[in-house]
Amino acid sequence: MSTADQDALRQRAAHIKSTYDAHFAGQPRISRDPEMLDDLARQLDAVAAGLDGLPAADREAMLEELRADREMYRREAAAVREAQSAGPDAFEAHHLATWSRITSARYRRHFAGKARATRDLGLLGELLADLERLRVAMDTLLRRFSNEELTSAREALDANLRLYREEQAAIREARLSGTLDEQAGILAAVANDQFTVYRDHFAGAPRASRRPALLERVISNLETAADQMKALGAQGLHAEANANNIGIVESRLTAYRAELEAIRQARQQTRWDDLVNGLGQAANKIFDSYREEFAGHDRATRDPDRLAVLSEALVDLARQMDDLDRVRDDDTNQLNLQVVVDHLRMYDREHAQIREAQRVSTH
């Protein structure tokens, strides 16, 4: 066997292992494909069958590694099938628990450890509404089915509801603290954050892949900010900057309302298959951005807030894919949703690791 053939076999074995890591490591078993594990085991068998030309010592060492991986894949396939044997209720329990964890991750990225006064109350309201909806669905399912994942998620949900409601009240109180000038500065920062949300999630993006409810949230936040800016004037604030800010917000509101209508029309005119493919393509762009900006880089040098933006964009796509899945069974959309959720788990772990790396680097 030539050196090139030996290298090819080793590369093939490494590729099989990387495929396993990408699709199974750290992922919940009930959502995995056991047939893919069966295929990976067969691929390892094929690699092992081609090792006859290797020197005995090298062959035995590589065979031992291949056998260990093959047995792990077969055990994992059996465990996946066992997890899935519980039936549709187990899948629904996992689905609800997954969305509860996604909601918790969103809170951690956007609220934990952040200055309260400028936090996004519209986003927090969305998180609360999501948890309320999930609570009803969980309680309905728990009346006929219970497992450890669902029970744990339900307990965590109640704790998070209390935390988010307390945070909501604290943010509102923080915005009313300080002098009128200071309150005006807070409202200006709130408005700027909404302009950033629009830029990150709408500017230059295909309209059919945008979620109207997100832009509705931006508009509602800006309407509230504008009303509060005007109220400061009624309370005696006669600052030119506040008056200018009101004009800027109202101008953006006009543009955003027009864009919202354009997005609705674009979605109405988009065929189902094109909508599914458009959401998948939008997700691929986010994956590309992650690979370019984060993969292989020193975590201590990465921007966790930028990763939060990418994660939030994926959440928005996942919500739309999940909505489509409730309307119609579509293999492509279901696969896309699974891939997006897998990446969200990975991005959440990476976000925590970046923050930890930066904490360590500053001590």
pLDDT of residue 149: 94
The mean pLDDT of the chain is 94
Write the pLDDT tens digit of every residue in 86-114.
Answer: 899 999 999 999 999 999 999 999 999 89
pLDDT of residue 60: 85
Q: Which residues contact 315 (CB under 8 A, 6 or more apart)?
A: 102, 106, 344
Q: Compute CA 179 distance to the chain's CA centroid, rounded to the nearest angstrom.
A: 38
pLDDT surpasses 60 at 1: no
Tokens 């900057």 sit on residue: 241
pLDDT of residue 172: 95
* Rounded distance between C-alpha atoms, residue 157 and residue 145, angstroms: 18
Q: 208 and 276 in contact (C-beta within 8 Å)?
A: no
Backbone torsions φ then ψ of 33, nearest 5 degrees: -100, 110
Size of the chain in residues? 363
Neighbours of 5 (CB within 10 A): 12
pLDDT of residue 77: 95
pLDDT surpasses 60 at 296: yes
- Identify the band that residue 2 occupies on the pLDDT scale cut at 50, 70 and 90: low
- Identify the band that residue 363 occupies on the pLDDT scale cut at 50, 70 and 90: confident
* Rounded distance between C-alpha atoms, residue 257 and residue 250, angstroms: 11
Q: Where are the domains of the chain?
A: 3-84, 88-177, 183-268, 271-363
pLDDT of residue 5: 67
Hey, what amino acid is at 273? D
Mean pLDDT across the stretch 295-303? 95
Q: 180 and 236 in contact (C-beta within 8 Å)?
A: yes
* Rounded distance between C-alpha atoms, residue 275 and residue 267, angstroms: 8
Closest CA to 132 of 110, 108, 99, 105: 99
With left for phi above 0 and alpha for psi between -120 and 50, is residue 332 left, alpha or beta?
alpha
pLDDT surpasses 80 at 7: no
pLDDT of residue 110: 95
pLDDT surpasses 70 at 203: yes
pLDDT of residue 3: 65
pLDDT of residue 286: 98
Q: 147 and 93 in contact (C-beta within 8 Å)?
A: yes
Write the pLDDT tens digit of every residue in 41-60.
Answer: 999 999 888 887 777 777 88
Write the pLDDT tens digit of every residue in 267-295.
Answer: 999 999 999 999 999 999 999 999 999 99
